[in-house]
Amino acid sequence: APTIGVFALQGDVREHARCLEQAGAKAVAVRRPEELEAVDALVVPGGESTTMWKLADAFELLEPLRARIKDGMPAYGSCAGMIMLADRIEGGIEGQQTIGGIDMVVRRNAFGRQVDSFESDIDFAGMGPLRAVFIRAPWVESVGSDVDVLARAEAGDRIVAVRQGPLLATSFHPELTGGCDVHSYFVEMVREL
Ligand code: GLN
């Protein structure tokens, strides 16, 4: 089974670890560069991207994360994790940085302007309807030509899931709605790469 790390300086780490184990992976927490080196792939959880950036910087994990992503390590980011995997963000705080990797612009707290949190059934990667929970969620404003759109919400208007090669990101939190279909999809990606 692949060993998949969960970025564990901030966010809903336990829920992602549970889904990864359910999807057949071995889940481990990643807080230090040595722990990052030991994993086959990484999940960046939901939480607060500004805090994640500051802590990753303080714990000297930001550059190692960028290096491994550049090296082709598979990664999946959910909500704040999606923001962390975006090459460019809008609505960030002053100086806010990301890990990057996916050629897209992500708008922070995009749905939050209308409603703080909501649930919706969406079609993810043609796998059929999936219950998705959005909590002060970002949406994807635009994507580069190498990025595949895997799901949309709001009657197709808003991009909420994308993939670029070994990198996957969702605006929503599959780890909070019971089913772990997105994690199964990711573990399958990791096995194939
Ligand atoms: N609004 C948060 C951020 O900007 C993301 C919210 C979430 O992960 N549920 O990081």
Enumerate the active-site residues: 79, 173, 175
How does pLDDT run across 32-57, given as a tens digit for each residue?
A: 999 999 999 999 999 999 999 999 99
pLDDT-based confidence at residue 187 (cuts at 50, 70, 90)? very high
- For range 118-141, the mean pLDDT: 92
Say if residue 47 carries a ligand binding annotation. Answer: yes
Domains of the chain: 3-192 (3.40.50.880)
32 known ligand binder: no
Question: What are φ and ψ of residue 6, in 5° steps?
Answer: -120, 120
Q: What is the pLDDT of residue 94?
A: 96
Pocket test for ligand 1, best of 13, 82, 83, 99 (most atoms within 8 A of CB): 83
Q: What is the C-alpha separation between 119 and 193, in angstroms, rounded?
A: 32
Burial of 34 (0-12, 13-18, 19+ CB in 10 A): exposed
Q: What is the pTM of this model?
A: 0.96
d(CA 46, ligand 1 centre) in Å: 6
149 versus 157: the higher-pLDDT residue is 149
**What is the distance in A from the centroid of ligand 1 to the CA of 136?**
6
136 annotated ligand-binding residue: yes
pLDDT in tens, 160-183: 999 999 999 999 999 898 789 999
Helix %, strand %, coil % for the chain, to 5?
Answer: 30, 35, 35
Average pLDDT of the chain?
95
Q: Looking at the predicted structure, is the pLDDT value of residue 115 above 80?
A: no
- For ligand 1, the distance from its centroid to the CA atom of residue 47, given in whole angstroms, is 5
Predicted local confidence at residue 113, as pLDDT:
63
E strands, 48-193, in order? 75-78, 86-90, 102-107, 117-123, 129-135, 139-143, 148-153, 158-164, 167-170
What is the spatial distance between Cα 191 and Cα 180, in angstroms, rounded to a whole number? 17
* pLDDT for 55: 98
pLDDT given at position 41: 98
Distance, in Å, from the CA atom of 8 to the CA atom of 31, rounded to the nearest integer, reads 6
